[in-house]
Amino acid sequence: MKNKITNYIEYYPDILLKEISINPVGYLPLGAMEWHSYHLPLGFDGMACEYFFRRLAKLKGGVVFPTLHYGIAENMPHPASFTLPDKNYKAFVRNIIKGIISLGIKVVIVGTGHWSANQIMCLLDLSAEFNKKYENKRVLVSGLPLGITGYEKGLIIDHAGVYETSFGIELFPDKVRLERLGNAYLENWNFPDAEQLAYFGIECRRDPRKHSSKEEGHKIFSILISDYINLIDEMFAGKTGLLEKYSRMASDFLKSNFSELYGNTDPLKFYKKVKKILIKKYYGKNNQLTT
């Protein structure tokens, strides 16, 4: 059944409860308030998740709950980036999921467009916690980084690079402004390069100005929408095969230390170098933001 309304904030209570009785699936988009270079919005992660879930809900029914844009953005202190302490974040998301389940939702799809290791671990932990708690009540919770399902199909995520830029072109093309990147490094894209990452905030081996496209964005969307439809169908049937598979893939991704992007470079040491450049560039001696 296709549904004209998808967003919780647009429902009236009686219509909301009727939709849940027909399609008891709830979507919780998560993101982070984090610099995505000059060409993507600061709230890109949450926006990507929300816009994707809206389109998914049009096909599968259910309710998209308000996006939590604040997240755990622990890696790079770019200007206008915010982060929440892990413990506070986990407790907050746990309470939101409890509220969603209390409405009669049977399948909870929690997704994060933000790929912080700490944020992903938080979702994997919460999924396991809720699935154990409700194993006899036919309620299942999936907490995954958006895009992990496509890993075995060759999708490689990045930060403000070809993957995210192309996905943005598919979901909200009017908000992607590639022309704002200018021409610096255009002929010499050399990631991982600490100076380049500090100045551009882009984690990607390919230059997004050359390789991002509407076609690539639609390919990403098509893979993910098919995967999530299959996942929801399985969860409604009380099966956990795909859910467990994708959770393992997310866990393995964390263990790989982002090797697809960084190769033999140690990301933690690399981030420390980037932070030093950022602090010097943007914050000065008194640790105050300067322009």
CATH, residue 78? 3.40.50.10310
Please report, to the nearest 10 degrees, the dihedral formed by the alpha carbons of residues 277, 280, 286, 290 taken in order.
-110
Residue-wise pLDDT tens digits, 96-109: 999 999 999 999 99
Residue 95 lies in a domain: yes
Residue 254 lies in a domain: yes
Residue-wise pLDDT tens digits, 150-175: 998 999 899 999 999 999 999 999 99
Do the Cβ atoms of 191 and 197 come closer than 8 Å? yes
Query: Which structural domain range is residue 93 located in?
Result: 8-283
Do the Cβ atoms of 63 and 11 come closer than 8 Å? yes
Q: What is the mean pLDDT of the chain?
A: 90
Residue 3 lies in a domain: no
Name which of 74-78, 92-96, 141-145 the model is least confident about. 74-78
Our count of domains for the chain comes to 1
Task: Catalogue the E-assigned strands of 107-200.
Answer: 107-112, 140-145
d(CA 125, CA 127): 6
d(CA 168, CA 44): 8
Residue 35 lies in a domain: yes
Residue 289 lies in a domain: no
Residue 2 lies in a domain: no
Residue 149 lies in a domain: yes
Residue 288 lies in a domain: no
